[in-house]
Structure 1
Amino acid sequence: MEAASLSSLAATQLGTASSLPIDITIETIVATLIICLGLVSGTSQLRPIQWRVWAGKIEQEGEVGFRNSSGEVEKDYVGNPFRLLESRPGFIDIRKQRSEFATWVKNEAVET
């Protein structure tokens, strides 16, 4: 029993005593920094944080304002993000439908 506890104690101490060599640690840090810089420099132009500023830019400039350096429209350009809210596809205008129905009833009454 004593041998088993000593061997398990020795195994845990052996793992914590060994550390990575300093050159591997430095190489890992430098590689991480290079990867981060590459990702940051390769991203597209940042959009304004405020939605109204971005939507205003879209309405004023359209696709022209979202062309990349090669002249193509960026793949994340979707147009006006408020288009669906402004058109209100789920909104029913009861007054308009009532007047259309009244006009239809009057036209049907005249024809018969």
Structure 2
Amino acid sequence: MTWISKSVTGLGLLFLAHACYSAHEHSALHSTSTAALSSIASHSTTASNVTSLPIDISIETVVAVFVICVGLVLGSPELRPIQWRVWAGKIEREGEKGFMSSDGTVDKDYVGNPFRVLESRPGFIDIRKQRKEFAEWVREGGVAVGAPKS
């Protein structure tokens, strides 16, 4: 993560902590004022006063979560292509330079050319050619290795 994304995420966390503290203080003040009023009032009326959070605390919470999301998205690495041919083409064109992280190191899952195995495998076996070579070897009196000569 860059310092910009870290600072935006930190600012969002600070906003969220303030919103949580404000919500806690609001509920604590509301519960103490309700307890004081209920001790003064007669016991015959038992109506529950349920109040919701003030709108400024709710807005601060939503804004804080949005700022945290923006900070995390700014710090996330670039998405990789879904199609294998696009991914392999990028590896062949850019090499290790295309997979450097922000701190200058190569990603841990960089393996190089993904087609290396296909390019280094042997070609197809020509059975007819091998059969012809074997027939010529037998005509010439070929003897198996390790077999006694007669």
How would you bin the TM-score normalised by the shorter chain? 0.5 to 0.7
Q: TM-score, normalised by structure 1?
A: 0.54
Q: TM-score, normalised by structure 2?
A: 0.43
Aligned-pair CA distance for 1:109 = 2.5
Tell me which structure has the larger Cα radius of gyration. 2
State how many pairs are aligned. 88
Measured in 2, the distance between the counterparts of 1:78 and 1:39 equals: 27
Match of 1:32 in 2: 65
5+ residue gaps, structure 1, are 1-9, 88-94
Measured in 2, the distance between the counterparts of 1:67 and 1:26 equals: 39
- Whichever structure has more helix as a proportion of its residues is 1
Percent sequence identity over matched residues? 60
Residue correspondence of structure 1 range 17-56 to structure 2 within 5 A: 17-56=50-89
Determine whether 1:68 maps to 2:106.
no
5+ residue gaps, structure 2, are 1-45, 120-125, 135-142
Measured in 1, the distance between the counterparts of 2:54 and 2:105 equals: 48
Measured in 2, the distance between the counterparts of 1:44 and 1:73 equals: 13
Measured in 2, the distance between the counterparts of 1:54 and 1:47 equals: 7
Aligned-residue Cα RMSD (Å) equals 3.9
Aligned-pair CA distance for 1:57 = 1.4
- Superimposed CA distance per residue, residues 2-47 of structure 1 (whole angstroms, 9 cap, x where no aligned partner): xxxxxxxx8xx958x4322101110111001101100100011221
